[in-house]
Amino acid sequence: MRILLTNDDGIHAPGLRALRKELMKLGQVTVVAPAAEQSAVGHSITLSTPLVVLEMTDEKQEFMGWAVEGRPADCVKLALLELLSEPPDLIVSGLNAGSNAGINVLYSGTVAAAIEGAFFRRTSIACSLEYTRLKVLDFARGADYARQVIEQILNHRPPQGSLFNVNIPSLERGPIHGIRTLPQNVAPYSERFDRRTDPRGRIYFWSTPEHGCPDPHPDTDVTAMAEGYITVTPLQFDLTHARMLAEMSAWSWHKPERLTRGVSSADQDSGRD
């Protein structure tokens, strides 16, 4: 099996290195990841600057893949269109330092990289490890769990282009209770900014790390992680609101009137020059 591994924490991130080690048990792994951290960049891509690429080796000085001076989505796009001699059978993004559950999916560069893979009709899986406080995470254990979940997903032979979001709960909470397949939580998160003043008297703000979901919807990825379960959520990138689309199809629409260039509708109605 050919596996493309990427992330948003950067090619030197310990989570990526730990997951690479585990994925090598499943097949041939090639890494194409950002040269520097790109957390929370969402699905942005680079247009106005070149994507500089550097070959990378692992701790054994063996070829590992490429570092890209770009975004996570850039890495997947470049890997599939330019860098890889053969298309991968699987694309994995992670192992991210911090969960990507709930509405965080929309901000996540980790998930965006997996979505980019799904654009190209490759089975793609985003993997994240939750932390409850700032300390060194047990990426080796988290990567082992992630690999076992990935194996189980692949055993069901999902259609090409399938997209999955895997979140592993904080290992500090205790033993993992199991795996649950649940929807993404869409309840809002609480966020806070630290207001400060610089030496020149200008006001600036730091986003604080203390944020959470105070009132999550039941039976979602957020609630299950809090209960000690690994969550697997199938995603799609079609954002069309199907129910609203059906309702709008019954609306009565009128073709907009063509305006004379440089003359407003009010001017036309009043007959003014």
Give the model confidence (pLDDT) of 81-104 as tens digits. Answer: 999 999 999 999 999 999 999 999
Q: What local confidence, expressed as pLDDT, does residue 202 receive?
A: 96
Question: Counting every residue, how long is the chain?
Answer: 273
Question: What residue ranges do the domains of the chain occupy?
Answer: 2-187+215-265
Q: What local confidence, expressed as pLDDT, does residue 257 receive?
A: 87
| Mean pLDDT, range 235-243, rounded to an integer | 94
Confidence band of 189 (pLDDT split at 50, 70, 90): confident
Contact 197, 203 (CB under 8 A): yes
CA pair distance 28, 84, nearest whole angstrom: 12
Helix and strand element counts for the chain (H, E)? 7, 11
Between 60 and 215, residue with greater pLDDT: 60
Beta strands 63-68 and 53-57, pairing class: antiparallel
Q: What local confidence, expressed as pLDDT, does residue 47 receive?
A: 95
Residues forming a β-bridge with 197: 203
Give the model confidence (pLDDT) of 107-161 as tens digits. Answer: 999 999 999 999 999 999 999 999 876 677 899 999 999 999 999 999 999 999 9
pLDDT at residue 229 is higher than 60: yes
Domain 2-187+215-265 belongs to what topology?
Stationary-phase Survival Protein Sure Homolog; Chain: A, (3.40.1210)
Give the model confidence (pLDDT) of 8-21 as tens digits. Answer: 999 999 999 999 99
Contact 205, 193 (CB under 8 A): yes
SS3 146: helix
Average per-residue pLDDT in the chain? 92
Give the model confidence (pLDDT) of 242-258 as tens digits. Answer: 999 999 999 999 988 88
Beta strands 193-197 and 203-207, pairing class: antiparallel
* Pair of tokens at residue 39: 């957390």
Confidence band of 172 (pLDDT split at 50, 70, 90): confident
